[in-house]
Amino acid sequence: MTASLKTLFFAGLVLLEIAAMSSVINAGPLPKIFIGKTHCGLFTAVNVERAKESKETGIPGIYTLAYRITFDANAVLPELNNRRFTVVGQRGEGIEAGALGLEDWLPTVAGEIRVLAFDADNFTHAKYATYLGGGNEARLVWRDCELFAATARPAMGLDPTKVAQTLASSPPPLVTFFRLTADYDRSVWQNEEALRAFAGYLENSAVTQLDRRNVLAHYFALPASASKDALRNLSTGMVNLAFELMRTDQIPISGVMLERMRAFFETAPGIYAFKPPELSNQVRDALIQLLASEDSGATEGTRKSLKGWLLGH
C-alpha cells in the first residue's frame, strides 16, 4: 500500500470513529435542566375536548372532569422538530378541588397559552408535565425560561458570570428564573460575582417587592463560604427590601426578611461574622419601629438579636 493510500485509509478510520462517537452522543439522554425535564415550551391550546360528564371523587362537592388537549408549540427549548402534542388529563371541579392535586392548569378553551416543562418522549399525559405559567403572565414566564437556558451549562451547572449579567439586565428576570435556577444549581451563589449581583437584584425597583421577597424566601440558598464584603452587600439588600415592604404597610412580610437575616448571618447567639450594613436615618428609624413590633411576625429572639447587631442596642 502506497503512502498516499495509507493516509486515506487511516483518515477514513478516524472519520468512522468520529461518526460512531457522534451517534453515541446524539443517542444519549438529554440533560434534565428544566425542573427535572428535558424541554420547556410555550404552548397554545388549539383544540380542547372535555368529557360530557364529571366523575364523583367520594368527597362531597368535588368532582373530576377529563380533558384531551391538542397543543401547538410556539417555541421549545432545546429545539424540537415535533411542534404538536396531544395530551390527556383531569381537572378538579368544585370548591377546594385543588386539594386533589390534578392538572388544574389544563386549558378550558382553545387559544389559552401555557408554559410547561416536559420530556419530549413522554408527553402524552398532563401529569408528566410541570406547569410554569400561563395566561397574561405566560410571555414573561417564557422569557425567564429563555434567560435561564442561556446561563445553563448541561452537566456543568450554571455559568456564574452569565447569571450575574442576567440579574443586571433590563428588564430583569422574574420569579420563574430563580425557580429554575434553584432546582438546577443553587451552588451558583458560591460565586461572589453572582452573589453581589443578587444583592443588587433585591434592591431593583423594576421587580415588585413581593416577587423579590418570594425569590429570597423560596429560591435562594446562602453559600457555604463567601467574603464578608459580599455578605455585607447581601445584608444591605435585605435590609433595604425590608424597609420597602414596611413603608408600603407590609409589616408581616418584612418580618420574613428579619428571620432570614438572622438565619443567614448570625454565627452564634447575638454574634455576627461581619459589621452591619450602613443605614440611612430613614431606614434606621424604620428598623427601630419594625424590630419593636410584634406584628412583624418575627420571633422575640430574632428581633432582639438583630436590634443588637443592626442598631447597636
Share of residues in the chain with pLDDT > 70 (%): 88
Kindly report, residue by residue over 146-197, the tens digit of the pLDDT: 999 999 987 789 999 999 999 999 999 999 999 999 999 999 999 999 999 9
pLDDT of residue 101: 66
Q: How confident is the model at residue 254 (pLDDT cuts 50, 70, 90)?
A: confident
The CA distance from 286 to 284, in Å, is 5
Q: Residue 54: which pLDDT band, with cuts at 50, 70 and 90?
A: confident
Q: What is the pLDDT of residues 102-154, one digit of tens each?
A: 788 999 999 999 999 999 999 999 999 999 999 999 999 999 999 999 999 87
Q: What is the pLDDT of residues 219-237, one digit of tens each?
A: 998 888 888 999 999 999 9
Cβ–Cβ < 8 Å for 48, 69: yes
Task: Name the average pLDDT for the chain.
Answer: 86
pLDDT at residue 265 tops 60: yes
Amino acid at 100: L
Residue 34: name the closest of 169, 154, 162 by CA. Answer: 154
Spell out the residues 6+ positions from residue 283 whose beta carbon is closer than 8 angstroms to its own: 239, 240, 243
pLDDT at 43: 98
Residue 116: φ, ψ to 5° = -135, 140
Q: pLDDT-based confidence at 100, cuts 50/70/90? A: low
- Cα separations in angstroms, 305 against 5, 116, 279: 81, 43, 17
- The cell numbers describing 217, all together, are 424566601
> Has residue 63 got a pLDDT over 90?
no
Q: Percent of the chain at pLDDT above 90?
A: 66
Distance of CA 99 to the CA centre of its chain: 23
Give the residue among 138, 146, 210 at the shortest CA–CA distance from 173: 146
pLDDT of residue 96: 65
pLDDT on residue 13 = 30
| Contact (Cβ atoms closer than 8 angstroms) between residue 67 and residue 90 | yes
Name the pLDDT band for 26 (thresholds 50, 70, 90): very low
C-alpha cell at 285: 428609624
| C-alpha atoms less than 13 angstroms from C-alpha of 102 in its C-beta half-sphere | 21
- Predicted local confidence at residue 155, as pLDDT: 77
| Res 9 pLDDT > 60 | no
Predicted local confidence at residue 7, as pLDDT: 36
Higher pLDDT, 52 or 98: 52
Q: Is the pLDDT of residue 8 over 60?
A: no
Stretch (H or E) spanning 212: helix 209-218
Residue 297 banded pLDDT, cuts 50, 70, 90: confident
Cα(90)–Cα(56) distance, integer angstroms: 12
Residue 188: count of CB within 10 angstroms of its CB: 23
On the question of pLDDT at 14 being above 50, the answer is: no
pLDDT at 23 over 70: no
Exposure class string for 109-146: b at 16+ Cβ within 10 A, else e: eeebbbbbbbbbeebeebeebbebbbeebbeebbbbbe
